[in-house]
Amino acid sequence: MDSASLVAHASLHPQQNLHTLFVYGSLMADEVLRILLKRTPQSSDALLNGYQRLSIKRRVYPAIIPVDSKKVSGKILSGIKDFEMDILDAFEAVEYKRITVEDGLEKLLAYAYVWGNEKDPNLYGDWDFENNFICC
């Protein structure tokens, strides 16, 4: 289902659950969120303990994988509706799995998109939003 279909579907189903999402890459950019969701959700700084953010060969976006001694800085997006989660799931594609994590700053439970293959040979080096993000 494309974004327009998902938005139309949501208008027919006004009762929506609200979700919290930890983001650490391209979804930290307001421009990307406005393109995908047609709005910028409320956000706050966040820290995810026990994960590492890595670059992916031939990609402009990062991945996170579990690594005990590491931390990933990002944002918590709040008030994400069911249909918006569907849009974000489609955006993140099959290489990521959506799991529940705990933010290290506010101790909030949130969803996060984690790279599905922790041993992927295409993962390398740290990825940093300020130095690696290329937008729209």
Q: Which residues are catalytic?
A: 92
Distance CA 6, CA 33 (A): 15
- Identify which of 12, 17, 27 has the alpha carbon closest to the alpha carbon of residue 82: 17
Sign of CA dihedral 10, 16, 17, 20: positive
- Identify which of 124, 104, 102 has the alpha carbon closest to the alpha carbon of residue 112: 102
* C-alpha atoms less than 13 angstroms from C-alpha of 69 in its C-beta half-sphere: 0
